[in-house]
Amino acid sequence: MSQLDLSLYLNHYFVLLLLFFLLIVLISLRFYNFFLVLNIRNNFILNSSESINNNFKQFSILYNILKS
């Protein structure tokens, strides 16, 4: 195996390694964004349910005041 063949082989291997690394980075970013969106959505759902409960409590207090 000559020096040129070895150089081409290593270059090819390096490019494949780089592409593999890039693929891993892109997949991880995609999953990170997915989980981030999921987390924001869950927080929004939790906050809206808490606000519904708070509104219900305020309404019941107001109702009790008006009823008496």
Mean pLDDT of 34-58: 69
CA–CA gap between residue 19 and residue 2 (Å, rounded): 26
Q: What does the block give as tokens for 47?
A: 């906050």
Going 35 to 36 to 39 to 45, the CA torsion angle's sign is: negative
Place of tokens 């020096």: 3
pLDDT at 13 over 70: yes
Tell me the domain boundaries of the chain. Answer: 1-67
pLDDT at 36 over 80: no
Q: What's the pTM?
A: 0.45
Mean pLDDT (the chain) is: 76
CA 43 to mean position of chain CA atoms: 13
Mean pLDDT of 15-36: 86
